Amino acid sequence: MRITLKVWRQKNAATPGRMVDYRLDDVSEDMSFLEMLDVLNESLIAAGEEPVAFDHDCREGICGMCGVMIDGVAHGPEMTTTCQLHMRSFSDGDTITVEPWRADPFPVIKDLVVNRGAFDRIIAAGGYISANTGAAPDAHAMPVPKADADRAFEAAACISCGACVAACPNGSAMLFTAAKVTHLGSLPQGQPERDDRVVNMLHQHDVEGFGGCTNIGECTAVCPVGIPLDTISQLNFDLRHALGRGH
Amino acid sequence: MTEQLVAGLYREGAPVRDTKAPAGPIESRWSKRRFDARLVNPANRRKLSVIIVGTGLAGASAGATLGEAGYRVKSFCYQDSPRRAHSIAAQGGINAAKNYRNDNDSTYRLFYDTVKGGDFRARESNVYRLAEVSANIIDQCVAQGVPFAREYGGLLDNRSFGGVQVSRTFYARGQTGQQLLIGAYQALERQVAAGTVEMFTRHEMLELVVVDGRARGVIVRDMVTGEIETHLADAVVLATGGYGNVFFLSTNAMGSNTTAIWRAHRKGALFGNPCFTQIHPTCIPVSGAHQSKLTLMSESLRNDGRIWVPKAGGDTRHPREIPEAERDYYLERIYPAFGNLVPRDIASRAAKNVCDEGRGVGPEVEGVRRGVYLDFADAIKRLGLEAVRSKYGNLFDMYQRITGENPYEVPMRIYPAVHYTMGGLWVDYDLQSTIPGLFVTGEANFSDHGANRLGASALMQGLADGYFVLPNTINDYLADGPFATVGEDHPAVAEAAANVQSRVQTFLGLQGSRSVDSFHKELGQIMWEYCGMERTEEGLRTAVEKIRALRDQFWTDVRVLGEAEELNQSLEKAGRVADFFELAELMCIDALHRRESCGGHFRAESQTEDGEALRHDDEFAYVAAWEWGGMVGAPPVLHKENLVYEHVEMKQRSYK
């Protein structure tokens, strides 16, 4: 396949970026999108030009580290991570635009690499159950109804890639935050801190500069692991409940 | 130490004597060690600091636990968030001797299975402890909110895994590693918020600081600004995972590397059993020269899928056009008792053999078809399409996404791939390396799996080390504190930092013609060819020569563009590949000296009449712990830790 790429190149956060065109003549449909970028980089290095920086690690769709806008869509045309997108999803002769996630709380570090540290700070604000090591009761001491466990799992599947933020016109991280609130709030172990959790995580979400949620739903349209939109309803429910109790 | 070189490649030194494992009944060794270990009172803990490198299951759990205990912890990872460590990719599950199934499981049985599965090359005391704390791990994770699979009664579900005869594997769909890691990561972030843990993301450890014989810190590079930073502490923990990426193609994350443990090895830490590599039998085969990564298909597929190749070589008909009589279900034929469920090492080698015979399937890559069919046609006929879909649907979807083929209609193609390294830095029972104050946990150490790792045991070891073992042994070392203050101007610190600076400048100054990746791929091909699934004396000697020649070329002809003071991914890779070159040579020497087959190490010269691995317990029942030879290419020194089996009788494994 012959592919023309328009790639965002930006030396660092302080330098303005620009789109640069590259042509690849020998792309195989078996390549993943990131392997196609590897091939591009090999040709750039051979030509003495700095390779394109992009984030990636596990390359099997679970670590959440990769992620770019492809033709304006987070992770590209398939509902999957960028590492699991394959070139067979494109056609010979296509021109493909590749850009970094765009959101104020995700500043560009270089080329396609952005800083998603804000997600860690939202988790640190309360996205956990306070259980010190060594004194846990037997795992069977507290049964969990299967429906609750399944609901918790569904939300816990979030890989923190940031596609939801990149896709949202408001730059909101509500789906990410709601997934964690729903995961832990669905389990009996998560109840004692449930009110504090939603208030504190949402506070941090706003401090980081993420926008509010206006139920547009772009986040779920691009989420590679299918986190459901109703987690956000759950978050709103929990928030109202917590505020009603004076938190 | 021997004056003469052995086999022209290494010297032999004094045996390893003290492993610190307590004597006495195996059931009470761990409690005895815990009682004997000195304590640090809570008020003094905040005066002591620990550096932890790596935030996978072993590193994040240790960081969280030591932070809770009140130590001052600095935690480092090269990823953009500690939650991305490669533990996240483990699919199948985590073992624990809970006996929730009433199927006669016990601590002793998990211990027994693990020692046997490791082909009698692991230390009994360590393995027993692993089995002993396994049950606590499940309790801890459930308390944190890890959403394990549950039954309708609300209790935890279990499944059977990796050939064992009891159901002791806890799981969270096909994402067990991800859920366990998120639990540990959240516990770590809780300590970050509490101020006991300071987190450094996008930082890579490039050197260990050793002062007066003790590990006192690390030199790291801030991968965003390029700044070389010095961090000092009272103890250092390496939890940096395995080194399977020496083969370039593997199931490891692209960034997984050996630098942290290799730099420690060069500073005096012994390296245990470097050649022990686990090859996993069910990966999606390589599709072309562009390939960067191999993806695992969960081993659970072998419960229902049947593995076969055409009986005749060069049969390129569509698999559905090959009649039953012309198919060879070779695992069922050779191992009728275990069939498709034989352990990983056996299944992997059998697949290699049929492909070497020219009976492989799929596209030809470099002249050979490397793939065998994993066929669900019978399962679909027996269980129905919907039942198969509900059991394995997500895996089938993933396969289709990667290969473009529909596994409901065409059999999957699989082939073995490098997965896990049982070797790593040598540690004693306290998880301390041969450098005082340097502890090593999880896959980065050599300890608990012997020559082969059973399924669902890696997660168990990572969390056992991080939540329960290290936090109860490191006290004994830290009780020696307060330690003498070391300043950044100390000559040993300054020298370590200067070494890192000069390496960076060397890479950028070389201005050669070849990319780092091209060297890495070539090194990987050498390793896979000669130090992969099957090794021979002659092949390994060839490999050592080729590695040395390629390494020389690397240091004169590698091209690293860009600058030091910025995000520079080529520069990061160059440092890692440079260390892989040195490790690769040691792996080959280790494989060469071990003239026996065991677990993941198959020496062609040592096999039974019907082609099975043949151990030589009289000669090789030891851990090979290697000492750095002093400079690149200098002969390393072999120290042996003899292994004694008091509880499990050493027998040849048989699966027929």
Residue of A nearest to B514 (CA): A46
CA B101/CA B158 separation, integer angstroms: 8
A124 and B192: CB-CB below 8 Å?
yes
pLDDT band at B162 (very low <50, low <70, confident <90, very high): low
Tell me, yes or no, if B561 comes closer than 8 A to chain A by beta carbon.
yes
A49 and B136: CB-CB below 8 Å?
no
Residue of A nearest to B563 (CA): A50
Tokens of A74: 């987070």
Render pLDDT for B309-350 as a digit per residue (tens, 0 to 9): 999 999 999 999 999 999 999 999 999 988 898 888 889 999
pLDDT reading at B417 higher than 90 = yes
3-class DSSP assignment, residue B279? strand
Residue of B nearest to A118 (CA): B81
- Closest chain A C-alpha to B346 CA, distance in angstroms: 25
A58 and B178: CB-CB below 8 Å?
no
Residue bearing tokens 């037997």: A138
pLDDT band at B392 (very low <50, low <70, confident <90, very high): confident
Range among B285-294, B419-428, B607-616 with highest mean pLDDT value? B419-428
pLDDT of residue A90: 98
Who among A49, A60, A149 is closest to B89 (CB)? Answer: A60
Strands B438-440 and B235-238: parallel
What count of other Cβ atoms lies within 10 Å of the Cβ of residue B279?
29
Residue bearing tokens 């020559």: B451
pLDDT of residue B617: 97
Render pLDDT for B498-516 as a digit per residue (tens, 0 to 9): 999 999 999 999 999 999 9
A149 and B147: CB-CB below 8 Å?
yes
Who among A29, A35, A134 is closest to B291 (CB)? Answer: A35
- Closest chain B C-alpha to A216 CA, distance in angstroms: 28
pLDDT of residue B163: 62
Preferred mutation among A26, A56, A128 to probe B, highest tally of B CBs within 10 A:
A128
- Burial of A58-79, coded b for 16+ CB within 10 Å and e otherwise, reads bbbbbbbbbbbbbeebbbbebb
Who among B83, B175, B515 is closest to A160 (CB)? Answer: B83
Who among A30, A116, A137 is closest to B139 (CB)? Answer: A137
Residue bearing tokens 């499990």: B648
A109 and B224: CB-CB below 8 Å?
yes
Span B223-245, average pLDDT: 98
pLDDT of residue B426: 98
Strands B49-53 and B72-76: parallel
Chain B environment of A31 (Cβ under 8 Å): 288, 290
Cross-strand partners of B75: B52, B199
- Which whole-number Å values give the CA distances from B74 to B201, B232, B478, in the listed order? 11, 10, 16
pLDDT of residue B219: 98
Residue of B nearest to A34 (CA): B292
A130 and B293: CB-CB below 8 Å?
no
CA B523/CA B552 separation, integer angstroms: 12
- Closest chain A C-alpha to B621 CA, distance in angstroms: 35
Tell me, yes or no, if B555 comes closer than 8 A to chain A by beta carbon.
no
H runs (alpha helix) in chain A: 33-46, 117-124, 146-156, 163-167, 174-185, 194-207, 218-222, 230-244
Residue B601 DSSP one-character state: B
Tell me, yes or no, if B291 comes closer than 8 A to chain A by beta carbon.
yes
Chain B environment of A63 (Cβ under 8 Å): 79, 84, 86, 88-89, 253
- Closest chain B C-alpha to A169 CA, distance in angstroms: 24
Span B365-374, average pLDDT: 90
Preferred mutation among B291, B293, B463 to probe A, highest tally of A CBs within 10 A:
B293
pLDDT of residue B298: 82
pLDDT band at B394 (very low <50, low <70, confident <90, very high): confident
A145 and B569: CB-CB below 8 Å?
no
Span B402-423, average pLDDT: 95
A65 and B517: CB-CB below 8 Å?
no
pLDDT of residue B289: 87
Q: What are phi and psi of A157, to 5 degrees?
A: -70, -10
A144 and B175: CB-CB below 8 Å?
no
Span B100-117, average pLDDT: 95
CA B257/CA B263 separation, integer angstroms: 11
Span B407-424, average pLDDT: 96
- Closest chain B C-alpha to A245 CA, distance in angstroms: 24
Chain A environment of B169 (Cβ under 8 Å): none
Who among B89, B175, B515 is closest to A58 (CB)? Answer: B89
- How many angstroms from the chain centroid is the CA of residue B326? 39
pLDDT reading at A45 higher than 80 = yes
Chain B environment of A61 (Cβ under 8 Å): 398
Span A207-219, average pLDDT: 97
pLDDT reading at B165 higher than 90 = no
Catalytic residues of B: 344
Cross-strand partners of B308: B373
pLDDT band at A208 (very low <50, low <70, confident <90, very high): very high
Who among A59, A130, A134 is closest to B190 (CB)? Answer: A130
Contact B148, B170 (CB under 8 A): yes
What count of other Cβ atoms lies within 10 Å of the Cβ of residue A43?
17
Render pLDDT for B580-601 as a digit per residue (tens, 0 to 9): 999 999 999 999 999 999 999 9
Of the candidates B361, B381, B373, B383, the one whose C-alpha atom is nearest the C-alpha of residue B411 is: B373
pLDDT reading at A77 higher than 90 = yes
Span B630-642, average pLDDT: 97
**Domains contained in chain A, CATH given:** 3-110 (3.10.20.30), 116-129+143-244 (1.10.1060.10)
Who among A35, A64, A189 is closest to B143 (CB)? Answer: A189
Render pLDDT for A118-149 as a digit per residue (tens, 0 to 9): 999 999 999 999 999 998 999 999 999 999 99
- Closest chain B C-alpha to A71 CA, distance in angstroms: 20
pLDDT reading at B655 higher than 80 = no
Please enumerate in sequence order all residues whose Cβ is within 8 A of that of A56, keeping only pairs 6 or more positions apart, or say none. Answer: A34, A65, A66, A82, A83, B254
Rounded mean pLDDT of chain B?
95
Chain A environment of B174 (Cβ under 8 Å): none
Render pLDDT for B48-73 as a digit per residue (tens, 0 to 9): 999 999 999 999 999 999 999 999 99
| Predicted TM-score of the model (pTM) | 0.97
Span B541-564, average pLDDT: 98
3-class DSSP assignment, residue A241? helix
pLDDT of residue B650: 95
